[in-house]
Structure 1
Amino acid sequence: MAVERLQKLISKAGIASRREAEELIKQGRVTINGKRAVLGDRADLSVDEVRVDGERLKINTPRIYIMLNKPMGVVTAVTPQHQETRQTVRDLIPLEGHLYPAGRLDADSEGLVLMTNDGDLAERLTHPRYQKAKVYEVTVLGRISDEALEIWSRGVMLDDGKTLPVQIKVLRREAHSSTLQITMTEGRKRQIRRVANTLGYPVQRLVRTHFATLALGDLKPGQWRHLTETEVATLKAFAYSLSMTPKRFVQRPARRLGALRRSAPAQPAQKREDRPTRPAKPSSKPRPERITQRPTKPRRKPNTAKRPPRRRK
C-alpha cells in the first residue's frame, strides 16, 4: 500500500471522518508503531501498525449506511462528552463496529441523520466547500413578515460572518406561529436558531426532513433503517458530482478576463478599410506644449577651501 495521511487512513477504516480524525490525533488517541502520532504524520498500513484507542486499523471493512430519525434531546455524537448524561445517536443503533453521524444536528432539533462508516462519503456530504443541500421544516414564534423572509433568504450577518443565501417556502403562517421549509447548504452551529433569533422569531421546532438525496419519509422518531442499494448509489452520485448540486447554491470562482476571451468564439478579422473609424473628440482646452528637453540644473561650485590639518592626539 502507498503512504497516506493518517486522517485519510482513519477515514477509510470507517472510524471517523477526516475532520474528526484530526481531533483524534490531537487528543493523542492515535499511535504509529507504538509512538504517539501528530498532525502531518503519514503511514503505510502494509508496513506500519496504526492504532486508534488501542485498536489496530483495518481498511477492508464493509460499508454501512443507515438513516436515523433522531428524537429531540439526543446528542449527535458517538460517545458522550465529559459530564454528558444524555443519550447519543450511536446508542440508538445496536450494531457492532464503528459507526458515526455524517454532520451534526442540534440536541434540541430532530429529524434525519445519516449514520455510516464511509469517511470519504461523509466528507463529501458535510464539508462546507461541497455545499450539499439540506432541507429543514422550521416552526417559529409569531407571524413572520415578508421583509424578514427576504432578509433571511439573502443572508444574515452573525457574529461569525454573513450566512449564505437560502431558499425559504412558507408552509403555514398564522397569528402566533409560522412554519417554513428552509433549504440551505451551510451547517454552522445552531445556524437556523441564531438567524431566527436575530430576526425576532425564535424557533419552536426544527426538523430535518431531507439530507442530500435522502428523505425522512414515514420513519418515526427513534427508528432507523439501512439504505437500499439504489439509495446508496444515488447518494454517492450526488456526493461526487458537482453538477447535481442546485445551481443557486454553487459559488463558482470568478473567471479572469483572459479566460473569457479564450472561451469566446473566434471572430473573423476585419480588413483595415472595413473597420469603422472613430470620430475625433472635440477638445475644449488647448493641449500644453510638450517639453522635449529636461531643464538643466545649475552645477554646484566645487569647494576649494582648504581644511585645517587634523591634530594628533
Structure 2
Amino acid sequence: MPPNSRKNPRRKTGLSTRTRTRRPITPRPSPQHKKSDAEGERLQKVLAAAGIASRRESEQLILEGRVEVDGQTIVELGTRVDRLRQNISVDGEPLPRPKLAYYAVHKPEGVVCTTKDPSGRPRVTDLLPSGLGRLFSVGRLDMSSEGLILVTNDGALANELTHPRHGVEKTYDVQVTGHVDQTVLSKLRKGIHLAEGFARVVHVRTKSRRKNGTVLEMVLDEGRNREVRRLLARVGHRVQRLTRVAIGPIRLGEMPAGTVRRLTSEEIKKLRAYVRQAEQKPHNNQKRLDRPATRQAVLSWRDRKQQAAAGKHSAKKPNRRGGQR
C-alpha cells in the first residue's frame, strides 16, 4: 500500500492531531483575604474549635454559603483566617472572640509538645488548668529535654516567635560528657556542617566543670529539630541533660518542673517589643546554611566543585555515529 494512501481519521473529522490540555481556572483571592489565605488556621478548624459544629459539619456550613468573614461569604474550604483579627459569623451570628492567654510552662522530661498524641503520652497542655479553652505550644522542645515553653492562643504572636526571619534567641543550659575546651567552643561559634547545611550558635560559654562533664550555656536563633544535641554530637560530646532557660526576654527562673504560671502584662509587652526588634535585625540564615563556615572549608568546597566539573567534561558520551563528541 502506498505510504500516502492511509487516511488520518483525525483529519477526516476535522480534529487537530495535537491535543491541548487546558489548565483549570482558579479564582484569585480577593484583596481582602490575601493575607488570611497565607496565614492563620483553616476556617472549618476555627469553627470546630469554637464549638459551632464538628469539622465535617463545619465544612458543610462553608459549602452552603452560611459562613462570612469580614462581611464576605466564604464557600472555599481552603480559606485561612485569623480568628483574633477577623470578624467571622455563621448564619449572621458572630463568633465570640476568645480572650488572649499567655502561659509559661516548665516542661519536664517525658512530656511532648504536640496538641494531640496518638500514643497517649503526657502533653504540655495537660499541665495547664482546666477550662482555659484551646491553647497550643509555641515551638517545640523534644521529649527528652526540659525547660521553658510558652503556651498561648495568640496565633499571630506564636507565628512571629517561631518564624525563622525573626531569629528569636533561645538560651539553653546543657550538661555534656567530657571536658569542653576552647577549640570545641570555637568550632561551635564558626559553624558545623549538619545534614541540611551549616549551623552555628549565637553564643556559647562554659558555666561550670564537673568530674566527668561540663555545663555549657548555649544561645541559638534557629529552631531546627534537636539542633543542640546534633551540634554537640558532631564535636564529640554527648548531651546528658538539656534545659531551656529563656525564650527572648522570658526567663524560666526558679519554676519547678511541671509548674505553670501566667505571663504578666509587662512580660507580654517585652515579648512583643523583642519580636519587633528581632524582625528589624538583619539575619543571614540562608547564607549561613549554604556557605562553608571557615576559609579552609571554602577552599575544599571549591576544589570539590572543580573536580566535579572536570569529571563531568572528561566523561565523553558517544554521538549518534558512534564517535566521541
Q: TM-score, normalised by structure 2?
A: 0.62
Q: Map Cα deviations across residues 13-72 of structure 1 (whole Å, 9 max, x no partner).
A: 997xxxxxxxxxxx9897373449665x3579757759xxxxx99462110000000001
Partner residue, 2:145: 109
Q: In structure 1, the residue corresponding to 2:230 is in which secondary structure?
A: helix
Structure of greater Rg:
1
- 1:130 is matched with which residue? 166
Residues 122-169 of structure 1: CA deviation (Å, up to 9, x unaligned): 111111111010100000011112211111112110111111442101
Q: Which residue of 2 aligns with 1:3?
A: 33
Q: 1:10 to 1:146 in 2, by over 3 A?
A: same
Query: Which residue, out of 279, 284, 287, partners 1:251?
Result: 284
Name the SS of the counterpart of 1:62 in structure 2: coil
The answer to whether the aligner puts 1:162 opposite 2:198 as a matched pair is yes
Residue of structure 2 in register with 1:219 after alignment = 255
8 A Cα contact 1:14 1:99, kept in partner: no
Distance 2:285 2:120 in 1: 44
Indicate yes or no: 2:98 matched with 1:61. Answer: yes
Aligned to 2:265: 229
Q: Distance in 2 between matches of 1:63 and 1:180?
A: 36
What code does the residue aligned with 1:211 have? I
Q: 1:174, CA displacement in angstroms? A: 3.4
* 2:112 paired residue among 72, 75, 98: 75
| 2:103 partner amino acid | I
Which consecutive unaligned segments of at least 5 residues does structure 1 have?
A: 16-26, 51-55, 255-313
Structure 2 unaligned regions, length at least 5: 1-30, 47-54, 64-74, 288-325
Q: What's the Cα RMSD here? A: 3.5
- For residue 94 of structure 1, what is the aligned residue in structure 2? 129
Please say if residues 62 and 77 of structure 2, whose CA atoms lie closer than 8 Å, have aligned partners that are also in contact: no
Distance 2:232 2:194 in 1: 11
Q: Specify which structure has the higher proportion of helix.
A: 2
Contact 1:155 1:166 in 2 (8 A): no
Instruction: Specify the SS of the correspondent of 1:90.
Output: helix
Q: Deviations over 1:54-100 (max 9, x none)?
A: xx9946211000000000110012211x3x23200011112331100
Alignment partners' CA distance in 1, 2:216 and 2:110: 22
1:195 maps to which of 226, 231, 249:
231
Q: Distance in 1 between matches of 2:157 and 2:43?
A: 10
CA distance in 1, matches of 2:57, 2:225: 25
1:186–1:7 distance in 2 versus 1, CA, 3 Å: same
Distance 1:188 1:58 in 2: 36
Give the counterpart letter for 1:101 in structure 2: S
The answer to whether the 8 A contact 2:103-2:151 is kept is yes
SS class of match (1:135): strand
One of 161, 179, 186 as aligned partner of 2:222:
186
How many residues end up aligned between the 2 structures? 232
Percent of aligned positions that are identical: 29
Give, in angstroms, the shift of residue 3 of structure 1: 3.2
Q: Is the 8 A contact 1:137 1:206 kept in 2?
A: yes
8 Å contact kept, 2:112–2:143: yes
**8 Å Cα contact 1:212-1:238 kept in structure 2:** yes
Tell whether the 8 Å contact from 1:135 to 1:183 is kept in structure 2 after alignment: yes
